[in-house]
Structures are given as C-alpha cells and as structure tokens.
Structure 1
Amino acid sequence: MPVETLRIDTLVIGAGQAGVAMSEHLSRQGVPHLVVERDRIAEAWRTARWDSLVANGPAWHDRFPGLEFDGLDPDAFASKDQVAEYFEAYARKFNAPIRTGVEVRKVERTVGRPGFTIDTSDGVIEATNVVVATGPFQRPVIPPIAPQMPAVTQIHSAQYRNPGQLAEGAVLVVGAGSSGVQIADELQRAGKQVYLSVGAHDRPPRAYRNRDFCWWLGVLGEWDAEAVKPGKEHVTIAVSGARGGHTVDFRRLAHEGITLVGLTRAFNGHVVSFESNLAENVARGDENYLALLDAADAYIERNGLDLPSEPEARRLLPDPECMTHPILELDLVEAGVSTIIWATGYSVDYSWLNVDAFKADGKPRHQRGVCSEPGLYFVGLPWLSRRGSAFIWGVWHDARHITDHIVKQRTYLDYRDASQRISPPLKTSLTGVR
C-alpha cells in the first residue's frame, strides 16, 4: 500500500453503530472528517455473533431516528444480518466518508502543534480530533479459573455460532446474561444436555401490559439514569428477542431440561465447584422483575392509561429440583461435558492509544465522552452519559453531544486564527464628542 500523510480535522476510529452515528452528526455540522474501519461496516454484527442472534430490543426502538428497518415490523426483532445491513444503508443515506480495510496501529499526540498523529495500515493520518468509536466488545474475557483440560473444548460466546459446531456431549455455559441464556436455550432445544451457571442478574419482563420493556424503561426514566445504582456495577441483564421475544424465566428453562447451577467458583482437575447462591441469584432476579411490574402498574395508575391488566405475569413457576437441591460440584467427565462456553463478557483494548487519557484501572478519563486529553473523545461505551449509552439509539444521542463539543472547540480555534489576521487601521473621529 502507498504511504501517505492525510490531514483531516476529525478522525473517527471504528464504523460500527458509534462510528456511523458520529459521522452523521459531524456531516450535519459541516466538520471535515474521516471514519476508518479495519474490516467492514458493522463487522462485529456479522462475524462476532452466533447465527441465530437477533437484537434484544424491537425494531421501533433499536434504531437511529433517521431511518426505519426496511420491511421489518416495528415490533419485530432484527436479525444480526439485518442490523449490519441497516448500518450500511444508514451510512449510504448521507454518504458517510468511511474507509474500510484500514487498521489503526498507533495514536499519539503530535509534538509541537495541536492534534494527533495516527499510524495506520494505509499510511499516516494527522487529525486535530480523534473519536474512539471501537465500542466495549473488543476482547473476549475468559476468567483465570478456566482449567487446562485438553479433553474439554472451551470457547468464548464470541466464538459460538450454532449447535452443529460443538462436539457430541453435554455443555456447561458459564454466565447467564442475555448471551449465555440464549445460547443455553438454543443448545437445549437442539437436544444438548446443558448446565447453566447463573450469577447475579436483572431480568426484566420482555413485555408487560401490552408494552415492551424498552418502552417501560423509557417512560420510567431508566434509560436516562446517569449513574449506576449501588451494587449494580457488574450485574448482567437477562433478556431475549429470540423466537419473537420472550421473558427469560430461569425456572422455566430448568423445567424444560436445563440444569441450573450457581456461580462457577473453581476447577480442581475435571471437577468444577459452584457457589451455593443459585436460589439467591434467581430470587434477586425475581425482585428486579417484580419491581419493574410494580413501577409499571404505578405509572399506569398515575397517568390513567387504559392498558390491559396482566395478573398472570406475577405467577412464578415452582422451584425446580436443581434449585431446591443445588449441585455444588460437577465431575465434567462423569457428566459427559465436552464443551464449556464462557459467556463472561468482554474487555476493551486501548494498547494502540499512546496518550495520557487513562485511569489506573485502564478506563478512559472522560466526562460524557469528552476525554481529559484535549481533542480525544470516546463514544459507544456503557454508561458514557446514561444507562442507554451502549445501545443503538443511545449512542446516537451521545454522538450528537460529542459533535457539539468538537464544533465549539473549532469555533475557539477559528477565533484565534481571526485575531492574527491583519486588520485595517482604526479610524477615529472626535466630531461630536463633548
């Protein structure tokens, strides 16, 4: 590839939902910019998800304001391919300046003048501003307790595609957030014996009283909550849009054949031990579920809405055997477990950002995406400004705020440049002065 130096006002790194949103707002404000993406637009939706994945929110909600999903019922849940195609269509809508196949290798502060020097696989770029839009799902995390067991295949949920890729035998799925629950359910329906390790979680209703939970979180102000509630910093959400959308019910999963176990604690050879907190974790999930129903009922009453009552939503199935007599140890060999799927989340990787922008824990120092390092911005991270920041619609609003900040800074720079221009002599007259 030819080596070139490109100078641009703002460089956006990443062309997923965050990068496309940034490009739209920058285009509207007339800010010269370029978006670089190492793969294709929305590549993570194409190749870092399992085959049957659908969005966890309905199409009317999980989209940008300026475009609906083509040919999809607003209450349906878009497939991963439909989501990727949506972002491609959205980028075409305003002719986004996206350059694909460009990997960013290093970003560092330019010496002696404002801005950054960016080393890429397609040459050097100099930019006054850099927006990191690489999202929160960069490096799959498998905890250090993972055993060294050649006889058992271990993969992260990012590597899972479908039941057919797994060897014969039972499966242990570690992690019961949205990914772990959906994968476990799919494997059980495909005839697999599944053990599902359940930790602390929230489990909202898929829908209640004829409204999706995304609607309820909106009218109740939960999407706009600006701070994580104490004790909820690392709690996952168990929700699913699979098979038309349904409320995740761990008791029902157990009655259908999945064996629930507590939080995975340790491995000793081929024996895995679990915490004795399964019933407690499920009960706390129930509390979260019922609390949202209570809040929804109160909202309906307070606002006089005519929405149908749904008393059956409060009926819980009886505790299954695996909850009343929990398994605390499991011999993987005796149980015939041939695969462990770690649905244990992701971490970020900013090793290529050689700037003074990070706290001791490696997280960026920022306020609503505006970094402590002047000219550097982050968008698409969870809780960037609110609870909804990492969701499709939320990232669009955060991108607008960051664009406004960039435009404001450009105004200051323009004023500095104007003050240096040579002005005509000031003409004064004392006529009429007393």
Structure 2
Amino acid sequence: MKRRFLGLLLGLVTAAGLGTAPAAVAAPEAGLWSGTWATAVQQPTFGVVQNWSEAGFAEQSVRQVVRVASGGVAARVRLSNEFGDQPLRLTGATVARSAEGAAVKPGSVRPLTFRHARSAEIPAGGELRSDPLPLLVAPLEELTVTLYFREPTGPVTSHVNAIATSYRASGDHRSDTSAAAFTETSVSWYLLSGVEVLAPGKGAVVTFGDSITEGALSTVDGDNRYPDELAERLGGKRPVLNSGIGGNRVLTDSACLGERATARFERDVLDQPGVRSVIIMEGINDIGMSSFPPDDCLGATPWVTAADLIAGHRNLIKQARAEGIRVIGGTLTPFKGAFYFSAEREAVRDEVNHWIRTSGEYDAVVDFDRALADPADPDTMLAAYDSGDRLHPNDAGYHAMAAAVDLTQL
C-alpha cells in the first residue's frame, strides 16, 4: 500500500507541475480518500439565524472558508442539493488557500472541474463531487471554496449555524484574490457539504449531535468547536468531521432544526468516506423541547421519556455497527438554569446518562457531563465553561470537552 501510495504521490506532483488534470486519480486508490471537513446539511429555512438559503443565488459568487482537519496530496469538494426539488446549475467553482477574511493567497486559486467540465449540474436530492485536484493540503489548513451561479438557483441546501463567515459578491468573482467584491456576509454554509483528501490514515472520526457538537456560541471564525479542538489534539493525524445541527433531536424532525438523528445518520455518518469511529452526543433537545407548543419551525414536540431516547440511541448504535464503525457514546451535558430546564426533564437526562455510562452498549464512553459539571452542583455547568445561557459551553468549555476524549478509544 505504501509503495502504491508513493507512486501515486509522485504522479500527482508531476501532474501538478505540468499543469495537467489528474483524470483518474481516484480510481486505483479510492479507499484512500477521506473526509477532512464536513457539515450536516439542512433544508432551506429562515432557521435560527438570518441566512440566504431560501432566496438562493443569481448572478452571484459565494465564498466559503473551511479549516480542514488532516492533510493529503489531492483534494476534492462535495456539493449537496439534498433538499432541492430540481437540478441546480453551478456555473463554476474554485478552491484557494485562505488569507484574511474573503481574500485568498495570490497564486493559489485553482479551478474545480466536474467530470472534466468547469460547469456542472447538481441533481435534485443528490450531491456532486469535484474531480480530484492535485493540491498538497496541510493539516489544520484553511481553504476557501468559491461557487459562482449565473442562473437563479432557487432555495438551496445549507447548514444554518456555521459559526463561520461566508461571503457574497454580485457577478463572477470566483478567481478574485482580493476580498473587495465580497461585501455581504452570512454565518451559514451553502451547498458545500464536504472536503475530501487523498492520504493514507487511521480513519476519520465523526462527531454527531446537536448545537453543542455544532459549536453554537463559540467564537465566530475561531475554530473553537469541540470537534476543532479534538482535531488539534490529534495533530492533524486523523480527520475529525462535524455532523452537529443546532436544535437537532434524536426522534423528531424539524423544518428549522434538521431531520431526526435516526434518519440523517446514514447520510451524515455512514456515507462519509473513510469513517472509522463516531462520537454520538444527542438527546438534550428531545428532553428540553418535550411538551413545548408545536409550530411550523419546531414540528412536533412530544414528551420524550428516557426509554424513548435509549431506543433511539440503540438505533444509532445498530446502524454504526452494521457498517463496522466504532461507536462512542457521549453523556448529555448539564442544563440546569437553561430556558427549557425542569426537574422532571433533569430526571430524564440523569436516566439516559446512567444508561450511556453503565449499559456497555456503546463501545466506549466520553463523559462530557462530568467534564463540564460544577462540582458544587453537578446538574449545572461550571461557570467558567458556560457561554451564558446555561446550556451551551463557551470556548473554554468546548476545549474541556475535547480534552475529555480518550484518544486511545478512537
């Protein structure tokens, strides 16, 4: 394997030096492709933050900056039209090394092709991967992907709460190195669902959950989500993919907060390339939103028992095991004082956490609850880790969550 990989590396570097396209780079070594950045996609929605997903784009360029977890010798980009009801026309796209804000480093802009064409159509309900691009990607490096849409797209698949700035410009600015044209900003991602690299490795780790996995209320553009911090602990040696969605629930769909975990697990975990293990931490929203007044955004809000949630977790474990993926359970973090806390809901959280810790049904456990709890009141998040809403950690709290992961269990 190493000899074949070195031969492939030499071929890629040679191709890059000659300026030719690596037409069949993935075919002989497809198993070496791994996700290095990902996000969980959602249907177009006004969501929890203002965004452009419902309006879509027309004669506009959208520039998005992502930090990869691990490196490789080639890269490809994945675009999703999962929630589109018609094919979506992409006029063109580029990838570049990021500079400041919407600017990119001069000389680094590279056009992406799709089946050897600059333009492409993303099928309704489907996704599209770019052709492999010979590009030496460093661990923990920032890359900028720019998409240009000449024709109106209609509503687009997105990830609402990216905790990262995206940029929009009128006209075709996919090859600009300057940020000057990109005068509009958003904190959502659009159509971009993954970046993959070609490299041998130990397999990707997917972090699967709700807003706490997503990194809500961490510093925008700071890359301080717990999956980011975990990638740093791993030193870029293993990819860490973030499949968190704010407000997501294990058992209930929502127009604003994503499909239920048991339904989206296949797409957001099992279909990611090169996955070896998954950390699941989800259920606090099922508990907290129990018996809320339902609406068009939240969807149904049934009372959820510990037994209901445990059954949902067992479904996720079964799905992972069927694909040979190591499955790690994360305990639900403290929420006393949060807007949807009650003693009755706390009892459900305690019962679910007891099952995660003691049942032996997960291959391993990360005790996020105890990592963040105030020793003087274990139902409460330690003030030093609290973002201020008594539910979501701050940057220090996300760092503590990543520190709680036993790397040998991955």
Rg larger in structure? 1
What is the TM-score when the length of structure 2 is the normalising length?
A: 0.25
In terms of fraction of residues, the more helix-rich structure is 1
> Which structure is higher in RCO with an 8 Å CA cutoff and minimum separation 6?
1
